[in-house]
């Protein structure tokens, strides 16, 4: 850097000469595009130049240019880092606070806590909130850590608040720029489900050892006289309960501790994320494992989901699950059309990663429930 060059200015063309031959530089407001050709493997380019741009306060991504007719097939796209106002990620914080509030409120349903007389009773539902958000945060931080490890710019998690009975739709992170290689794509994709599943198992085992909840007589009478919601157990939850010698069903008047439901949420989220299509974690893992052949498998996924919805509709009375899998069939169809992530560098991920991919999908299958939720009518 020249002594006269401001510390927060973008890198000069000369600073990139060892790794990237620049034909021209384009500016669009705060975005700067270095158009040119890599002098090293494109898959390694973002890792090489990332620290240089980061020191100047810029995020950088590598993009492939198509159809412009020029000799420069790549672009380094630099944008000023944006972590919030005054360096604080306020968007992430606000979403987290809202989700803590909605999950606390959802927890009052499961603990049968009355907040009408004292709103601060809401805080008594903290174990449920800690279980649900702990599982979701661990899942997303798995993606975040591996994204940073491979030099892919990623945001902190954004939690999504919704009304009870769960209080959240999960969390997401945003990744900017292309993923350098199939190995990086695999590592980023698999880290979330495996980290989240480890947290899910821990939360479930803890919850199974906690005392059951006493169900008030009013709630029992309401269930006797009207419809109630039942959450069915996946095989993994049943196996964990058998392993630790704890029940998941209790006699009338008692219910399993709500912390166990936090584990249930983690298992359900794990299965949905591992559906092998599009930008879901399962889509990333399959794309990394099979390369472009993944498209053949992904194309069959919507049909499988629609067939499952149809089977439940014609062969059972589980209308809610019919709607659920029908909706996911539509989502999968849209994701197939949108396509999967495309890494800059192709190449085999190796037998160890392939074995880990298989193990991850097996664990995801243990979290599967054909009828996750059912409405019980007396």
Mean pLDDT of the chain: 87
pLDDT at 85: 47
The fraction of the chain above a pLDDT of 70, given in percent, is 93
Two tokens at 280? 């879901």
Share of the chain above pLDDT 90, in %: 50
Averaged pLDDT for residues 340-367: 91
Could you say which of 80, 107, 131 is where a domain stops?
Answer: 80
Both 50 and 141 in one domain: the answer is no
Pairing of strands 153-154, 175-176: antiparallel
Residue-wise burial string across 319-330, b where 16 or more C-beta atoms lie within 10 A, e elsewhere: eebbebbbebbe
Residue 142 within a domain: yes
Whether 108 and 186 map to the same domain: the answer is: yes
Q: Mind listing the pLDDT tens digit for each residue in 170-227?
A: 888 887 667 888 999 999 999 999 999 999 999 999 999 999 999 998 888 887 777 7
Q: Which of residues 46, 80, 114 is at a domain's end?
A: 80
Residue 165 preceded by cis peptide, ω within 30? yes
Q: Region 232-248: what's the mean pLDDT?
A: 95
Is residue 3 in some structural domain?
A: no
DSSP track, 200-256: HHHHHHHHHHSPPEEPPHHHHHHHHHS-EEEEPPPHHHHHHHHHHT--S---TTEE-
Does residue 161 sit within a domain?
Answer: yes
pLDDT reported for residue 252? 87
Residues 106 and 264 sit within 8 Å (Cβ to Cβ)? no
Q: Are 109 and 164 in contact (CB under 8 A)?
A: yes
Answer yes or no: do 50 and 97 share one domain.
no
**Does residue 5 lie within any of the structural domains?**
no
Whether 7 is in a domain gets the answer no
User: Crossing angle for the helix pair 351-366 and 258-273, nearest 10 degrees?
Assistant: 130
Residue 2 inside a domain? The answer is: no
Other beta carbons within 10 Å of 188: 28
> For residue 174, which of 188, 184, 187 has the smallest C-alpha distance?
188
Cβ–Cβ < 8 Å for 140, 171: yes
Q: What are phi and psi of 87, to 5 degrees?
A: 75, 5
pTM listed for this prediction: 0.79
- Asked if the structure places residue 1 within a domain, the reply is no
pLDDT (0 to 100) of residue 262: 93
Judge contact between 234 and 368, C-beta under 8 A.
yes
pLDDT at 211: 94
Within a domain: residue 6? no
Span between the terminal Cα atoms of the chain, in Å: 75
Higher-confidence residue: 205 or 4?
A: 205
Final residue belonging to a domain, choices 59, 80, 101: 80
Tell me, yes or no, whether 278 and 326 share the same domain: yes
With bands split at pLDDT 50, 70 and 90, how would you rate the model's confidence at 83? low
Measured CA to CA, the distance from residue 30 to residue 28 in angstroms comes to: 6
Asked if residue 166 and residue 56 are part of one domain, the reply reads: no
Residues 40 and 122 in one domain: no
147/23 same-domain check: no
Count of the separate structural domains present in the chain? 2
pLDDT value at residue 246: 94
pLDDT tens digits along 42-77: 777 877 787 788 777 787 888 877 655 556 688 888
Residue of 377 and 192 predicted with greater confidence:
192
Do residues 172 and 40 share a domain? no
Convert the pLDDT of each residue in 117-137 to its tens digit: 888 999 999 999 999 999 999
**What's the pLDDT score for residue 377?**
73
Q: Are residues 102 and 198 in the same domain?
A: yes
Confidence at 306, pLDDT banded by 50, 70, 90 = very high
For residues 166 and 23, membership in a common domain is answered with no
**Are 96 and 142 members of one domain?**
yes
Q: What is the pLDDT of residue 67?
A: 54
Q: Which pLDDT value is given to residue 1?
A: 43
- Same domain (yes/no): 264, 316: yes
The domain of 39 spans 13-80
Could you report the per-residue pLDDT of 157-170, keeping only the tens digit for each?
899 999 888 999 88
């Amino acid at each position: 850097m020249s002594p006269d060059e401001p510390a927060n200015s973008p890198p000069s063309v000369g600073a990139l000469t060892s790794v990237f031959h620049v034909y021209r530089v384009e500016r669009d407001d705060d975005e700067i595009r270095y158009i040119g050709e890599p002098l090293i493997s494109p898959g390694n380019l973002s890792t090489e130049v990332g620290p240089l741009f980061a020191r100047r306060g810029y995020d950088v991504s590598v993009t492939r240019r198509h159809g412009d007719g020029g000799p420069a097939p790549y672009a380094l796209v630099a944008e000023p880092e944006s972590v919030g106002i005054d360096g604080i990620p306020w968007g992430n914080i606000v979403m987290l606070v809202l989700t803590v509030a909605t999950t606390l409120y959802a927890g009052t349903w499961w603990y049968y806590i009355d907040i009408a007389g004292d709103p601060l009773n809401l805080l008594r539902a903290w174990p449920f909130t800690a279980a649900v958000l702990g599982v979701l945060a661990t899942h997303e931080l798995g993606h975040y850590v591996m994204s940073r490890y491979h030099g892919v710019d990623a945001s902190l998690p954004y939690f999504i608040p919704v009304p009870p009975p769960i209080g959240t739709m999960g969390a997401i992170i945003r990744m900017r720029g292309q993923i350098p290689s199939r190995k990086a794509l695999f590592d980023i994709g698999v880290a979330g489900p495996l980290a989240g599943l480890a947290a899910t198992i821990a939360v479930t085992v803890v919850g199974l050892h906690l005392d059951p909840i006493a169900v008030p007589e009013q709630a029992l009478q309401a269930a006797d006289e009207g419809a109630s919601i039942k959450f069915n157990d996946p095989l993994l939850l049943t196996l964990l309960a058998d392993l630790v010698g704890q029940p998941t069903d209790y006699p009338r008047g008692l219910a399993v501790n709500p912390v166990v439901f936090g584990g249930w949420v983690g298992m359900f989220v794990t299965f949905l994320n591992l559906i092998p299509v599009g930008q879901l974690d399962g889509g990333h893992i399959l794309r990394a494992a099979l390369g472009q052949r993944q498209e053949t498998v992904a194309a069959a996924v919507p049909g499988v989901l629609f067939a499952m919805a149809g089977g439940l509709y014609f062969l059972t009375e589980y209308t809610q699950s019919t709607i659920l899998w029908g909706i996911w069939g539509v989502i999968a169809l849209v994701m197939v059309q949108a396509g999967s992530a495309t890494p800059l560098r192709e190449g085999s991920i190796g037998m160890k990663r392939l074995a880990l991919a298989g193990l991850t999908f097996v664990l995801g299958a243990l979290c599967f429930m054909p009828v996750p939720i059912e409405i019980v009518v007396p």
